[in-house]
Structure 1
Amino acid sequence: MPRPQRHNRCTGAAPRRAFGARRRPARAPDGAWALRPQACRSNGSAPSQVVHELARGNRMNDRMPAAGTSLVLLAGDRDGATHWLESLLESGGYGVLRERTGREALQRARATRPDVIIVDADLSDQEGVELCRALRADPRITTSTPILLAAGEASTRQLRLAALAAGAWEYIAPPHDADEILLRVQAYVRAKLDADRARAEGLIDPLSGLYNPQGLARRARELGSQAFREHGALACVAVALDLEQDEASLATEEEDGAAVVRCVSALKSSPRLSDVVGRLSAREFAVLAPGTDAGGARRLAERLTQSIHTRTTPPDAALAAPGVRVRCGYEAVANMGYAPIEPVELLVRASAALRTGKEEQGGSIRRFDSGVTGQSP
């Protein structure tokens, strides 16, 4: 009996398949992931109110790339467990490359540099975890390339931890919702493309390896967009270095540079993995902290100050070296969903607080005060 033609739930029209594309199975085979029906998918653009909130400067394009430009590498040799996934991704507008062995998948990843890599947990020549580890260790595969480890059976805590330790972003196992999988892949692709554009457009300060002001502004908009959707908190801590000198001990340019290098090292190691660190000027830096309210921002400023002092203080007091005074300014919003503030404005306010903010901790830490003349509103 011929299989009835499926229709698009949004328009009622029958979907068009590319020449030679295989029809998606009506029912997942035994051992494959269970799927619930798909709902109509959006084009991946951000909600209009978010765009309105973030409409300032050169904002990044929040839309997904045109269909076919995002490439997924699927490593798996079990037709029953991965064929439906290939069909699902193709229906979502992705180009799918498929390799059956881990060795072939590694070679293809090096050559094509896909936007997402999905690895079957059980390959014919090696375990999926081993391939994840090899992909992460390969310098030709960027660390921003999402790797998902896919299993045909229910997962255990031990398997999930092993996958994450091997470098996978996520361990996915049945049962799963088709829309959820596509939305997750969409989010991972967007993050990967953002990282690619950051490298291509020069958003990194070449001297420190941190984001430059343009990069910080872009990341502020991204974090602000996320916090807006989730009604979450967002904070920014600005850090300024003052080299303390006297007439008997003038800091040389080399010593000045060494102090900044040690400060950068402290800034890279002190924040959480979710925080974003950048360089605003020669001796001024900023840390964007998602999910952080005013109290958390103040504690972050204290931690950064202590870490910088530890790394910039000479171990031998008799050693001639300029002292470093650290000043911090911060601003925080408890709920970005309700606060009428542009995310980039957090950078402006934190930087302004360095000079004229409300003093805390003996003046070394200041919070933005909108009532002070000369500060940005």
Structure 2
Amino acid sequence: MVELRNRQPLVLIASHGEWVGRSVESVLELNDYAVLRVDGGRRALDLARHVSPDTLILDTALSEIDGITVCRALTDDPLFDHSTPIFITSPAPASNRMRTEALEAGAWDFLTQPLDIESVLLKMATFLRARRRLVDAESTSLIDPQTGLYSVRGLRHWAAQLGARASRNHEALACVVVTSNTPADVTTAGKPVSAALSYMADLCRAKSRKSDVVGYVGESRFAILAPDTDETGARQFVSRLQRALDRTTTAGTRAETQTPLHAGFYAAADFSASGVEPVDVVGRAEAALDYAMASGGKGEPLSFDDLPAS
């Protein structure tokens, strides 16, 4: 049993090469992660089941059992916590077939070496934040009491429903996550949310279609699940929001403002061919938003598929 000091997230690394494994381990430890490192697939599978790491990094070229097979075994294990992010890494340029196989096995992301460690850290932080939210949401309502929109749990429920339909009918599916620079602090318990947060909630609801699912994921971020929506549709939705945000009502008069809307999204033209689990689409959109904000983007929506390859 591994005890985590200061509640550090525990990362299980299973790498083919010792140098790569040690390098990633050193960087993670410098960023306040606890690390377990092994070099075999069978050992990684055993530890993942008994230690319950917060995230896993698995190499495709592991001895005994390859990383994709380990990932698939954990995904099929009903006792394994399926909210645990799993990264699959490849020590050589990988084919699209291998990438698809990894995603179908349940990987949250597929990375090629040498790793872009800054991108890995950003994605890991995003996925772990999403995981914490999912865990916290298990005991909460499908509706967020502050905004009246769907909660994280509600979004997860609808993502599963919409994803199943999109896969069955070979339809498009998108998720957009947006935030603005408008302060949206929430007051103490029992008090109403700020006007800015309420305004953004109303705006997202008003500019969405009846078929869309609008939710609040915390930290002034709003997620929109959009069925029958591809990349073009996702970008058009963000443009509609930005135009509406640029015109606000102040003291009963119309006033032009320039409030940048930051947006990240994930979109699949045929969701059945994406190899992505429906419950992961919100996390992917959030990862794109995180990267857009961290890289100093100019407000253009960023697709998860356009994140730098690692």
Between Structure 1 and Structure 2, whose CA radius of gyration is higher? 1
Higher relative contact order (CA 8 A, sep 6+): 2
Q: Which has the higher helix share?
A: 2
